[in-house]
Amino acid sequence: MTSIEPINIGGQVVYPVDCLEAFKKIGSCSVDNISTSPPYNLGGFHSNEKKRAYFGFSDDMTEQEYRGFIYKVIDECHRVLKPTGSFFLNMKTKIFDGISIPPYWVVANDFNLKQEIIWHYPSTANVDKVRFYPLFEYVFWFIKDPKNFKFNDEWAIVGNVWKINHMTDRNEAKMTWKDKVIQHPAIFPTQLAQATILSTTSEGDTVLDPFVGSGTTLKVCRHYKRKGIGFDKYFSEYEELARKRIMSDKFPETLLEMKKAGKKGVEKDEADGSMEKFMK
């Protein structure tokens, strides 16, 4: 196996290689939590030059190839997760030729599906007027043992619909590509990582993100004293951005804190405008 030199950022560890290679460095039943969002396999580039190829990751696989890859990742997640651990997988419905393809296929694995969570956001870039605007993504919560898993039960009051405005994270995660300043193409929201990690781990626990991207998961781990591990084959392409985010101490309230305070979340996207501009 090729030698892998991990990168330490504020006590968090990144393996800058393909996740299936990096998994070989992780012992079986050694991780308390896995929180991740894989590339969506949408193909190509956005019209405004947000790079969909994830700096080299092939984001235009055939659907069969993509599912095969994701299943391999899930198998490895099952191997490294402790018997009492939790695996949170964020996926979205894709649209090909006007037809929706929901990600329900990912539940066919060796895990038990504990719950489906809906991440609801207040605005969307998908504003073609041929369908209702898509305003949510799925978060699948998988466990190994339905009778023995770790859950900090005060989080139960949050419910399984998480209203999270991701624009603050997007505006923080800007980088230079082809001499232009653009946003990282796929930002994992801080509040989402807070919820998946704080609800199912304790200080000192180990959290893994096989697609670390801009570093959100490790940012949350560092701040809340978890041991974060991240994989990313093309980490070097946006290492400066990820380092900045991982070391950031800028954090929103958690969904639990907002719930306890009686707050309903952000219904309007003030950072980027709301959908009202498309309804004229």
DSSP state letters, 117-186? EEEE-S--S---TTSPPP-EEEEEEEES-TTS----GGGGGG-SEEE---HHHHHH-EEEETTEEEE-S-
Least confident of 12-16, 37-41, 79-83, 181-185: 181-185
Helices (H), the chain: 19-22, 63-80, 167-172, 190-198, 216-223, 239-246, 255-260
pLDDT classification of 50: cutoffs 50, 70, 90: very low
pLDDT for 110 beyond 90: yes
Q: How many residues are given for the chain?
A: 280
Mean pLDDT score of the chain: 85
Report residue 96 as tokens.
């090909």
- Can you tell me the mean pLDDT for 131-140? 91
- Report the SS3 class of residue 88: strand
Question: Residue 218 corresponds to which amino acid?
Answer: L
> Residue written as tokens 């399984």?
160
Position 235 scores a pLDDT of: 87
What would the pLDDT profile of 56-97 be if each residue is shown by its tens digit?
A: 445 678 889 999 999 999 999 999 999 999 999 999 998 888
Nearest-angstrom CA–CA distance, 163 and 200: 19
Percent of the chain's residues with pLDDT above 90: 62
Position 44 scores a pLDDT of: 47
pLDDT classification of 131: cutoffs 50, 70, 90: confident
Tell me the CB-side half-sphere exposure of residue 111, using CA atoms within 13 A.
29
- What's the predicted TM-score (pTM) here? 0.88
User: In a 10 Å sphere around its CB, with 0-12 CB exposed, 13-18 middle and 19+ buried, how is residue 131 labelled?
Assistant: exposed
- Can you tell me the mean pLDDT for 180-205? 88
- Can you tell me the mean pLDDT for 192-200? 98
Helix axes of 190-198 and 216-223: crossing angle, nearest 10 degrees: 50
pLDDT classification of 274: cutoffs 50, 70, 90: very low
What domains can you pick out in the chain, each with its CATH number? 13-265 (3.40.50.150)
Position 176 scores a pLDDT of: 63
- Can you tell me the mean pLDDT for 93-108? 91
pLDDT classification of 113: cutoffs 50, 70, 90: very high
Position 183 scores a pLDDT of: 64
Report residue 239 as tokens.
């290492």
Position 144 scores a pLDDT of: 98
Closest residue by Cα to residue 213 from 240, 197, 234, 244:
234
Strands 81-91 and 136-143: antiparallel
- Can you tell me the mean pLDDT for 243-257? 94
